[in-house]
Structure 1
Amino acid sequence: MKFIMSKITFEEAKQLIDIRDKENTTSQSIKLFIRAFFCGFMALLPLKNSIVITSILIIIIVISFLYYYISKANNKLLEEFSYQLAKYVMLQTTTVSILLGIRVDGETPFGEYYVLVALCYLFLVAVLGYFRCRAMILNYLKNNGINLKGISVSKIWNKVFLKLSIILLVIIGLGTQLYRLNKWWFIGNNSSSNGISIQNEWLGMFLVLVVGILLIILLVVFSLLPTLLFNAKTITEGILLKEYATEFQQENTRSNQ
């Protein structure tokens, strides 16, 4: 991300950032504390599966909270940036906690390999989340007239992901309502004695493959739902403020004289 921002000149950065707005940022400490408490509670969901994974999630939340305080203490102009970044990271742990807290028949999924699978999943979410946020930042820059040569954004991270996110939210909403209306059917409808079976082996394998791919896509999209709340404007401005810290400090001093 720093490489991308280094391609933006200070003059272009000044067009995006109004220092006066940064000076009057309202303290977000209480809001962030409440979010940290809630996300910390959600991080307890995988506790029965692994105390290691739960500890990692809680550590991430604590680090995000501390980063906010340290960042705003060092530079008041970065208060809103550090708040938005910490908020996003905390919210990201929520969807991750929900999925990592799933148990199969009261047992830990993947057995003794659960921690390894969970760590790989966390790494994957971090990488995909980075590319999604990177695409949002580049899109924000493009909408503000800053086109970076040699850097393009795949449609997957913009239009496709947004559509998939909306579809997933609709599915979750409809699924919840259908479950409430037809709970008796889900709990157990034993009126039919014969189950559904697929006689063609190749057709069965194909259906399993398709369902598996769709399930993976839905899990990835669900994991990255917090990116919908990623504040590309504030994060971009914060990165530029850090990139040109000296220049903006001098600009701020001159404006106050």
Structure 2
Amino acid sequence: MEKNNVSYEEAKDRTSEQEILQLQATKEKTSSSVGKIIGSALFALLLSLPATNYYAIYAVIAFIILCILSIRYIALKPIFKVLNYNMILFLVWQTDAIFFLIVFLRVKADSYHLIPLFYILLAYGLSFLLIRSRIRAYLRESFQNTSKNKKSVFSKTITRLLGAFLAIVVLALLFYRGNKWWLMNMNTSVDDPSFLVYAIWGVGLLVLLFGFTLLPTLIFLPSQYVKARLTKKYSEEYRNEYGFTEKEWYGE
């Protein structure tokens, strides 16, 4: 079930009058939200700067993406600033994570810097697939009242795993610090028994890479996204239902 198939009556049943009043109250204080988005974008840009030492073009791309996100958010009407805050914040931090992590993907043999490009495309793809799955799961559970299927269980499992990922990372870093000397002096020859350990560490680093890549998806709230899209779709219906003028509803 897609959000476009949700009727106004269904959307209204999921939105209380208190939520509408709270939305209107929050709409008057969007300056803090704008400040947080701009601050997050600047921080993300700062973290992408080390990439200029190896992949200057990717830092430029990050700058363009962050500028587009910031400008689009600033241009929104106050009510949509409130509703789209979570989505824009997620996109900013997702961009931050991706363009920061490409610094660790430098390979001398990759003279055309294709590895970072493939990683960027794959990272955005995985991130959007995950949040899309979470959105669909939320729609099914909220508007269809269906039982959980394999896809929704999978997306929730991934989200829970990401929630525990930070704790695992801390433990892994502590272990790495305690065994750094051993890792640096390890013989990576295939004939050496330690090659298996080396391979395991390689897989572990890939897990860490994509774990960090997908961490920003924890920021994303499917309920807020669906609410924003439905409120935008039925904006006039809501306004007439609760007796707001256009200026009162949309803000200046």
TM range (shorter): 0.7 to 0.9
- Per-residue CA deviation, residues 106-160 of structure 1 (Å, 9 max, x unaligned), is xx5553231x3323222222221112112222333345354479x973433221x
Alignment equivalent of 1:199, drawn from 191, 195, 216: 191
Alignment equivalent of 1:8, drawn from 6, 9, 16: 6
5+ residue gaps, structure 2: none
Partner of 1:91 in structure 2? 93
8 Å contact 1:140–1:232 — kept in the other structure? yes
CA distance, structure 1, for counterparts of residue 206 and residue 176 of structure 2: 22
Report the AA paired with residue 235 of structure 2. Answer: A
8 Å contact 1:67–1:86 — kept in the other structure? no
SS of match in other structure, 2:104: coil
8 Å contact 2:48–2:96 — kept in the other structure? yes
Partner of 2:151 in structure 1? 153
SS of match in other structure, 2:191: coil
SS of match in other structure, 2:2: helix
Partner of 1:172 in structure 2? 169
Flag the 1:15–1:109 CA change in 2: closer, same or farther, 3 A: farther
8 Å contact 2:58–2:99 — kept in the other structure? no
Flag the 1:212–1:188 CA change in 2: closer, same or farther, 3 A: closer
- Are 2:112 and 1:113 aligned? yes
Partner of 1:231 in structure 2? 221
Greater alpha carbon shift after TM alignment, 247-256 vs 14-23 = 247-256
Alignment equivalent of 1:55, drawn from 60, 65, 76: 60
Partner of 1:45 in structure 2? 50
SS of match in other structure, 2:5: coil
CA distance, structure 2, for counterparts of residue 197 and residue 137 of structure 1: 46
- Please state how far the C-alpha of 1:241 moved relative to its aligned partner: 1.5
CA distance, structure 2, for counterparts of residue 141 and residue 253 of structure 1: 28
Using the size of structure 1 for normalisation, the TM-score is 0.76
SS of match in other structure, 1:113: coil
Greater alpha carbon shift after TM alignment, 51-60 vs 162-171 = 162-171
- Percent of pairs with identical residues: 23
SS of match in other structure, 1:199: coil
Flag the 1:223–1:170 CA change in 2: closer, same or farther, 3 A: same
- Please state how far the C-alpha of 1:51 moved relative to its aligned partner: 1.2
Report the AA paired with residue 91 of structure 1. Answer: W
CA distance, structure 2, for counterparts of residue 35 and residue 200 of structure 1: 47
Task: Count matched residues.
Answer: 238
- Per-residue CA deviation, residues 60-95 of structure 1 (Å, 9 max, x unaligned), is 111111111112x2xx32122222121111111222
5+ residue gaps, structure 1: none
